[in-house]
Chain A
C-alpha cells in the first residue's frame, strides 16, 4: 500500500508498506501504531527541519497514553523533504535539545 498523507503545510508525505515494515522491524513497539504515524503527519503539534540535515522534516505529536509503551510520549516521524518518504518513526520520552527549526506552526 502506498499512502500519501498531506501535512498542514500542503506537503505530501508517503508511507509505503515497505517503509512501514522497515520501521517495525527496528522498532517493534510501533507495530500497532501505524495510524498514529499518519495522524502525526496530518495533524502534528509541530513540524521542524533538521539542524544537521535541513532536508529532513521532523513531525512531532504528543500522546498522553500509549498502550503498553508509556505515558506522555512524543511520536517523532522523520520524512525526507526531497522524496517525501517516511524514513523512520518512534516514541521519545525526552528530548535533550530542540528538534531543529520550527517550520509549522509559524511563529
Chain B
C-alpha cells in the first residue's frame, strides 16, 4: 500500500544566541532542548532534538571569524537575517511506493501580499521541472566514482523563472544518507572553495539558500 509521509517545518519560532567571546552562534527552532549534533563541518553542526526526534537547530563555531570574510556586517545584520529565516517554510515528503524524498522550501508572504492571499484564498502552484543536481560524471581519485553521492539528487525548478524551490532524492532508503552527505558537502564546497569548478545546479541551490539568509556576497565567492 502506498503512503506518503509529510512533515512541515515553520521557522517562525527562531531563537538565537550569539556569544561574542566564544564567537559561537546557536540557532534553535523553538526553545533550546536536549539534542545530539550531526557534525557537517568542524564549524557547523545540525542539532537534532532527542524527544521527540526533530530538527532542533544549528551551531556555528567561529561565526564572525568565518563569515566576516564574506560579509563584514555578518554580526550586525544577524537580527535581520534571523527575522528573514523565520518566514521560511520547509516541507519534507516521503513517498514509500517510489522511495522518494522531496524537500521544498518557500518564503511566506508578508504584509499586503499575505493579506491579499488570505482574503482571496489565492495560491497559485507554479509549474516545475526536475533536473539532476550534478551533471558531472567520470571518476575521481584512485578510480573512485566522482560525485556518486549526488547521483540520485534532483533539483526542482519553477517555470519559466527556473528558481530552485526544492530537491528530490531517489532510492532514499538505499542512498539517502550518502545523498544528504554529498548534498551538504557540495553546498559547503561551493561556498568556501571558490577556486573549484562547481555544477550550475549546486551553485543555484546554494544561492537559493543564501538568498533566504540574504548574504548575496556568498554568491560572488562561489563563481
Interface residues of A (CB under 8 A from B): 19, 22, 25-29, 48, 50-53, 55-56, 58, 68-70, 73-74, 76, 78, 80, 83, 85-88, 90-100
Q: A28-B33, A78-B24 are in contact. Are A99 and B62 (CB under 8 A)?
A: no
Our pick among B23, B66, B185 for the contact of A96 (Cβ within 8 Å) is: B185
For chain B, residues 35 to 72, give those with C-beta under 8 angstroms from any C-beta of chain A: 35-43, 45, 47-48, 50, 59, 61-62, 65-66
* B163 within 8 Å of A (CB atoms): no
Q: State in angstroms the CA–CA spacing of A61 and B171 once bound together.
A: 34
Q: State in angstroms the CA–CA spacing of A70 and B36 once bound together.
A: 8
* B9 within 8 Å of A (CB atoms): no
Contact B38 A96 (CB under 8 A): yes
* B110 within 8 Å of A (CB atoms): no
* B26 within 8 Å of A (CB atoms): yes
Contact A51 B43 (CB under 8 A): yes
Chain A positions within 8 Å of B203 at CB level: none
* B32 within 8 Å of A (CB atoms): yes
Number of interface residues of B (CB under 8 A): 33
Chain A positions within 8 Å of B174 at CB level: none
Question: In chain A, what residue has the closest Cβ to B66?
Answer: A52
Contact B37 A91 (CB under 8 A): yes
9 interchain residue pairs of minimum CB distance: A87-B22, A29-B34, A53-B62, A95-B39, A92-B37, A26-B26, A92-B39, A99-B42, A100-B42
Contact B36 A97 (CB under 8 A): no
Chain A positions within 8 Å of B181 at CB level: 96
Contact B43 A96 (CB under 8 A): no
Q: State in angstroms the CA–CA spacing of A27 and B21 once bound together.
A: 17
Q: A85-B22, A87-B23 are in contact. Are A52 and B43 (CB under 8 A)?
A: yes
For chain B, residues 175 to 214, give those with C-beta under 8 angstroms from any C-beta of chain A: 181, 184-185, 192
Contact B185 A91 (CB under 8 A): no
Contact B38 A92 (CB under 8 A): yes
